[in-house]
Amino acid sequence: MLKRLVYILFLITVSCIEPYKVELPQGEQLLTVDGFVTTEPGPHSIRLTRSDTYGSVFEGLIRPVSQANVAVRDSEGNVVFLAETEERGVYETPADFRARVGLSYSLLIELQNGKSYTSLPEMVNSVPEIESLSYRAIEIQTSNRLQNRVGVQIFTQFRDPSDQTNFYYWRQGRGSYVLVANPELFTLPPDHPTNPRGAAPKDCCSTCYLLEPSRLQTFSVASDQDFNGLNQNLPIAFIEDDGLRFKSMYRAEIQQMSVSREAHRFLRLIDQQINLTGSVFDQPPANIRGNIISLDNPDETVLGFFIAASVSKKEVYIQRNNLEVRLTPRIIPDDCLTVRGATLDPPAGWNPDN
């Protein structure tokens, strides 16, 4: 037994693991273009970034492309120059610029290093008006039976025109809602010198308004191949319940756009990759070629797509009492003004009675 123990200790002493250094190939730093112009008044924004290689802590994965010359040219030869905003890599059109139905638009980019890029022309086609929006609460099953997703699904009602082929793209604008708090439940912190953890209800404020910060939004696309010329009632957006959004009233803005066939194909492929489930039946992820090309090197890969579209917008106010399924409300035991971005004044255009 002692001999065996000595043998094991000897193996532990002399055994070692040599670290294996993985040599990763240097990845390409690809120019990425994200943005569109519509028939709505400006300003319209274009974001230029450059993908980066993986670092030890993934620092600098996405880098803004600053000090570029960016312009939009229409099919009549008119050129509008975009100005870079305080946010580096974001370029905006003048406030009075808006696309016109029947014209095509191209994006022109010249980088600081002299390289030039252009998009293929994008035609602006008319879009049918949103007649109305409706909603209903839904619960989506997940792999975790105890944590299903709960939220509100929004439907758009419109009539598809029969005299043309239409490709649709739906986006959500920035949501806003009534933020409900409970200042009467406020208590002092444990380190308070006079009354630790003692009740200290506040007189104000229990109700505020909150404009949600911009974030990556889900989107929907469709073509009228199966419903040309018919009245439609399509589910086009889902807003997840986080315990605060639907405690009182939520305002959702829906943008219904008419895009080109090429833009629809690009968005559909993007949607497919976003919704990969990780199963063996998923298509392998890959770079999706957009409509931006390099004038210096046609073989250079440029990511993103410049879209020009007509748009119809409509708002819907979601009432708490109309939702049959909701998450347990989150409690804010404090003044609602302590929530970042909350104000006592309703956001612009707030009119639930209209």
pLDDT of residue 60 exceeding 90, the answer is: no
Establish if 303 belongs to a structural domain. Answer: no
What's residue 4's pLDDT?
Answer: 53
Strand runs labelled E in the chain: 31-38, 45-51, 62-64, 69-74, 79-84, 90-92, 104-110, 116-119, 122-123, 132-140, 149-159, 167-172, 176-180, 207-211, 220-223, 231-240, 249-258, 292-294, 303-319, 342-343
Domain count, the chain: 1
This prediction's pTM: 0.82
When comparing pLDDT for 354 and 187, which is higher? 187
CATH code of the domain covering residue 199: 2.60.40
State the DSSP H helix or E strand holding residue 2, giving kind and residue range, or none if neither: helix 2-14
Establish if 178 belongs to a structural domain. Answer: yes
Residue numbers of the domain that contains 333: 127-259+309-354
Q: What is the mean pLDDT of the chain?
A: 86
pLDDT of residue 158 exceeding 80, the answer is: yes
Mean pLDDT along residues 88-109 = 96
- Most confident range (mean pLDDT) of 55-59, 65-69, 223-227 is 65-69
Q: Are 31 and 107 in contact (CB under 8 A)?
A: no
Establish if 233 belongs to a structural domain. Answer: yes
Establish if 173 belongs to a structural domain. Answer: yes
pLDDT tens-digit map of 30-47: 899 999 999 999 899 999
pLDDT of residue 353 exceeding 90, the answer is: no
Establish if 352 belongs to a structural domain. Answer: yes
**Residue 322 burial (CB count, 10 A):** 12
pLDDT of residue 25 exceeding 90, the answer is: no
pLDDT tens-digit map of 110-134: 999 999 999 999 999 999 999 999 9
What's residue 343's pLDDT?
Answer: 96
What's residue 195's pLDDT?
Answer: 66
pLDDT of residue 194 exceeding 80, the answer is: no
Q: First-to-last CA distance in the chain?
A: 88
Establish if 156 belongs to a structural domain. Answer: yes
Establish if 36 belongs to a structural domain. Answer: no
Tokens representing 58 are 């993934």
CA distance 293 to 295: 6
Establish if 202 belongs to a structural domain. Answer: yes
What's residue 11's pLDDT?
Answer: 46
